[in-house]
Structure 1
Amino acid sequence: MQQPGLHGRHRDKNGEISRKHGNTLVSTLRKIYGPSFAPGAQPGEKLSEVLVEMDEPSLTKLVHDHVRGDLEGKIGIA
């Protein structure tokens, strides 16, 4: 059952990021954001697997680029 007023929209950007870029590997994101991105995550793990456990600085970078519309382009280049 959907919550009233949401009409299929995600409440947070994390859901959108996971849906759009969930298959992106941590190793790819570390090429973009540096080796300290998502500490503790293995390079072969997918973003969707580690998103809920990510540290605040890594998540902030990811959400910032997603909101600006830069994330997809950066992933494509990496």
Structure 2
Amino acid sequence: MAKDAPGMRGIRSRNEDEQLRQKRGDTHVGTIEKMYGLDFDARSDMHLHTLLQREGVQSLHELIESGSDRN
């Protein structure tokens, strides 16, 4: 199993080709906000895929990057 990059939180799940697994789209935004200490100005029960569409980004990484610019 490949080692995670420095600064990553915990050991991330990977696909068979060693790429990081995408975060499930039905994850609640409140969970992500709590995990990363960010506020996306969204309901905590909103699903991640809905927030990604609203913000016009493709991935959780892009969302976190744009969210950290706001805080």
TM-score bracket for the superposition, by shorter chain length: 0.3 to 0.5
Report which structure shows greater RCO (CA 8 Å, sep ≥6): 1
Q: Comparing both structures, which one devotes a greater share of its residues to helix? A: 1
TM-score normalised to the size of structure 2? 0.43
